[in-house]
Amino acid sequence: GRFSRAFSISKAMPISSDCALLVIDAQNGFMPGGGLPVAQGDAIVPVINRMAPLFENAVLTQDWHPASHVSFAANHPGRQPFDVIELPYGPQVLWPTHCVQGTPDAALHPQLHVPQAQLILRKGCRPQVDSYSAFTEADRAATTGLAAWLHARGIRHLYLCGLATDYCVAWSALDARAAGFAVTVVEDACRAIDLNGSLARAWADMKAAGVQRASSQSLLAG
């Protein structure tokens, strides 16, 4: 009947409506040629585009830094990118200048296609505090309001993808668990920076917090 025809059009069953896809920082700045390029970062875009239609709920995040941001090595004379300094909230990696507000570097990748996204959350906007996580800034005090927004919509399970696995994706996954969500990281829809063993550390932390791992193929297979 009508139902079997409807389902045969879509290869996979849609993901339950209490789930949301959280696309972390799929921006030009983290793609090859960007200010802080992640190796093969652009390879995630077609993967995200293939699985995005399974979700009726989606949120995109954007790193959105003022040019004066404290995390930029260029703002610390005598310092190099990837040096670590101490800030009032703890150690801070100094990054190449990236994702400056309003620049093409900060724009979402032009091929990213998640038209149903209800929210674009911009983070790292405060000059003196970095923000890897979509939920809590690096001072671990200021929240972005995302957890409350998702709870208000009845979302219980988050599927994370984006850049980079070992920084903004991992920190967001850990904070999502702390905020009471079930969390699955879609591994092939992420890429890592992997600075000084940061990727292995991030996966160990995520596993300890109860974060699940999946592949986009497993979601598409229903």
Active site residues: 25, 123, 168
Say if residues 182 and 158 touch (Cβ distance below 8 Å): yes
Counting Cα atoms < 13 Å in the Cβ hemisphere of 119 gives: 20
Residues in contact with 40: Cβ distance below 8 Å, sequence separation at least 6, in sequence order: 32, 191
The DSSP call for residue 166 is: I
Q: How far apart are CA 221 and CA 191, in angstroms?
A: 22
Backbone angles phi, psi at 195, to 5 degrees: -100, 115
Does the N-terminal peptide bond of residue 164 adopt cis geometry, omega within 30 degrees of 0? yes
Tally the residues of the chain. 222
